[in-house]
Structure 1
């Protein structure tokens, strides 16, 4: 049986071979690009229909479809501190701004957390005269602590 990690490698190879974009795959699957990308990289389980749509577009077989339907073991980083520069910047942002984010959430909402389960992610490009900006929106449901 193929693992989710092996399926993700097959997806990335097919995507490159066919010149597809994550947006095209998301359209075929019928879900937002961030969720679709996460699912195809092994971090979300796909329905049979979603896996079939992606595999069809990518010209991949039933073994990949079966792996895409499996429940994931979430958390894709190989090390506690990421080495990839793009991923490391998010780690750095949380080191610098994590306490600020926590304080502002608690001040606005009270004692609780932002859900990563009831969650949406969006990434977009915004033109700027000083250089295009990357806008990342993390949209999670507030979950109050219950004592």
Structure 2
């Protein structure tokens, strides 16, 4: 039976353990996701406490991370989502995403509504990918794709 968490403590502690064991074993997120049939982004988010994993995948990934049976069971629970508190993020990478939304949030909203109508972009029926490409001016660029299902507002 699928179980649900009532606070972020258990999955937060498990995320800490996942990162610690991933580091000790020198594993990448891609290596952990390999062979699961799920995306690197989804498995990463699950291990960071944002999604439940199906039992077989929790078992596979949990074994790679030397998790015990309770940890593997907790990977399958529905978490209390949202890893950031209400304050402005202080981590520089996360802050840049916050900054992007501060600068482009109203633009994204206007364009989504103009092209799709009144509604939202789902973060549940959602796909995320991060790609590294060469910058013609030197260095690299990050291509981040946020692919969420559009859900129209329905009058009632």
- Same-fold call, TM cutoff 0.5: yes
Q: Normalising by the residue count of structure 2, what TM-score does the alignment of the two structures yield?
A: 0.89
1:37 to 36, 41, 44: 44
> For 2:23 and 2:35, how far apart are their aligned partners in 1?
17
2:108 to 84, 101, 107: 101
1:134 to 120, 124, 142: 142
Shift of 1:30: 2.6
Q: Which runs of 5+ in 1 are unaligned?
A: none
Q: Which runs of 5+ in 2 are unaligned?
A: 1-8
State how 1:81-96 maps to structure 2 within 5 Å.
81-96=88-103
Q: Normalising by the residue count of structure 1, what TM-score does the alignment of the two structures yield?
A: 0.94
Aligned residues: 146
RMSD: 1.3
> For 2:86 and 2:21, how far apart are their aligned partners in 1?
26
Deviation sequence 1:48-90 (CA, Å, 0-9, x none): 1111001111222112112211110000013431111100111
Structure 2 partner of 1:47: 54
8 Å Cα contact 1:116-1:140 kept in structure 2? yes
**Greater helix share, structure number:** 1
